[in-house]
Structure 1
């Protein structure tokens, strides 16, 4: 069943369910008005319960707007609150605007140049990309907002992020973040400073802001403080130790790439130097644990093999072959850090100081 918040009347006027009318007023309108779907023109039923948000629904099963997701009360509530958020900022917000050229219905159109998608359920990545491409064809900028069923703990932590959630990342002035919205508290959340760990695991910062204090264009997350980055390092060190233990207890250590690399570099497999397994932004183009691809980079450098040569060898596992240029950039950045750290630390430069300075410099370089 597809639930919607906007319909057309017999006079071809749009009628919005934005909370302006009481349930009693809506029941009276239902008796004397007929409503139709703006997309497929089929008759709609106005549903007015005591618990759920009033909404429209198709009277019969229909293949209307194949891109629409089944609505939940959370989704309906979120769209209404986002509509009010933009309206209160004196922006022209259109709720559930149907675009016949691409057969898509945007949750919100803002100032006729921004398509807001409030996504509460899992969506195939290909479908997400297809919707975004459709908006871009219409010269609309797509903005995906993840709907939350519960509030998030704030601070630096290990996050479980699904593939489609990563695809929702926004890039504003080379600052990547996922924007989320929790309707029950009318509050926005951010997942930012995301460092890839493995599979669906990332380390990042979660921060929230009340809708009444949010701005538009949306606020951009700040750089991590040194204390916050130190927490990121701590989580990466724990993940690294877990990986090392799994390799040490590997029944076939002879075939273990980790063990072979440690042997080549003459390193103690159980006690690696701190400069292996460092968090770097953008490393998701490499689908291996940080400690493993960084050992490969170091081993190649010690043998006089260039970064391009290492990538061309196929020994590194890339998330996608087309991301080879990104992998080259990331590995080059790491080797600069590796050469600095392998010499040890001076009295004035600790491991934290060096790695945090590297993080800040690279981020500022990207933002120029």
Structure 2
């Protein structure tokens, strides 16, 4: 922590310009107290880490906070200085008594308060949701900024994330598309990861942009990337290889597939590797469903559309009602973001739009569809791969 009180009630902020000798003298003359729990804290003036206050080991603070690393302290200081240079009203480590929470920074911008949480360590999903909804219920917008060291790049445009990191995503100001914000104290730069297109629970393709600290304003960080993403524009070249990966994955990976989904493929007398080529596409809002697209889209094809007679109209409500129990029973899983708009039904509607583009369905009225032909069930891997390639050209035209 960077803020404490003296035994005389003087507030000490280590972001202010202190000489080491001044702090050493103050340490000899005064006791330092945590502004939250009123317990004693130590002033540490070591040569390696940023100067900071710390609770004594035998005493924990009443606020649920994790130990601060050197990276966390340095990042918090740089973010404070960056905001101060823009003339914004900032509070360093304020204690919000009603919420029993203490964000790293609290910023007032255009009559709205924002809680800046710079996160170098991991939080449980429960902790993150509790803090996020606590702020939102109090009319404060939380901005989660991940430490740059947390960014895990798997390839040129592929990345891996923990569930906790996914939950920090926010919407563009004028779009439903999510993005993640990172900050590297070492490089003094923001990293914005947008156009997120997940293909597993923890992996996604995306578009990465690096911005030096002085080049961005707080308003720009709030809005997200300056140019709204073009739908799936960064994933087209690589998505065919992702579909191939699903087709070639070892049978032991199928052990992770929920029982009812494995049973679905058994009923079709095929392995999951031979999922229909019409499935496994990153249609709009697909990120709202955590289960990989080749599985939940196969379920729609096999468990719903296969039972619809050709030429007979059906309403979207029938699909939605059939899909909901799969989520309730955790056979398929949602990805619920605290700060990203969207209901899983949007992902279902977008997938039906894709099936219209490839002429499997036709749209006859508002949320009313009709099946035009039967689903493709590949008999061999070469046949499946060929069909994937054919549909990829349609996907390019669709996007």
Which residue does 1:312 correspond to in 2? 321
Superposed, 1:82-161 pairs within 5 Å as 82-111=79-108, 113-149=113-149, 157-161=157-161
CA contact (8 A) 2:276 2:298 kept: no
Which residue does 2:289 correspond to in 1? 286
Q: Which runs of 5+ in 2 are unaligned?
A: 256-260, 309-313, 361-386
Q: Deviations over 1:290-332 (max 9, x none)?
A: 1233233344335326543344334574325999x93332222
Aligned length: 341
Which residue does 2:163 correspond to in 1? 163
Against the structure 1 CA distance between its residues 83 and 175, is the aligned structure 2 distance closer, same or farther, given a 3 Å change threshold?
same
CA contact (8 A) 2:115 2:135 kept: yes
Against the structure 1 CA distance between its residues 338 and 156, is the aligned structure 2 distance closer, same or farther, given a 3 Å change threshold?
farther
Against the structure 1 CA distance between its residues 152 and 215, is the aligned structure 2 distance closer, same or farther, given a 3 Å change threshold?
farther
Picking from 77, 80, 89, the partner of 1:80 is: 77
Q: Deviations over 1:254-278 (max 9, x none)?
A: 9663475597xxxxx76964x4321
**Is 1:257 matched with 2:271?**
no
Q: What is the CA distance between 1:336 and its match in structure 2? A: 1.8
Which residue does 1:364 correspond to in 2? none
* CA-based RMSD: 3.5
CA contact (8 A) 1:195 1:281 kept: no
Which residue does 1:351 correspond to in 2? 394
The one of the two structures with greater contact order (alpha-carbon pairs below 8 A, sep at least 6) is: 2
**Is 1:331 matched with 2:348?**
yes
Q: TM-score, normalised by structure 2?
A: 0.74
**Is 1:295 matched with 2:298?**
yes
Equivalents in 2 of 1:175, 1:224: separation in Å?
Answer: 8
Equivalents in 1 of 2:301, 2:129: separation in Å?
Answer: 36
Q: What is the CA distance between 1:238 and its match in structure 2? A: 1.8
Q: What is the CA distance between 1:65 and its match in structure 2? A: 2.9
Against the structure 1 CA distance between its residues 34 and 247, is the aligned structure 2 distance closer, same or farther, given a 3 Å change threshold?
closer
CA contact (8 A) 2:296 2:332 kept: no
Other structure's SS at 1:184 match: coil
Superposed, 1:219-234 pairs within 5 Å as 219-221=223-225, 222-224=227-229, 229=232, 231-234=234-237
Q: TM-score, normalised by structure 1?
A: 0.80
Equivalents in 1 of 2:250, 2:51: separation in Å?
Answer: 56
Q: Deviations over 1:42-100 (max 9, x none)?
A: 22221101111111122352231341110100000011011101101100111111112
Which residue does 2:2 correspond to in 1? 5
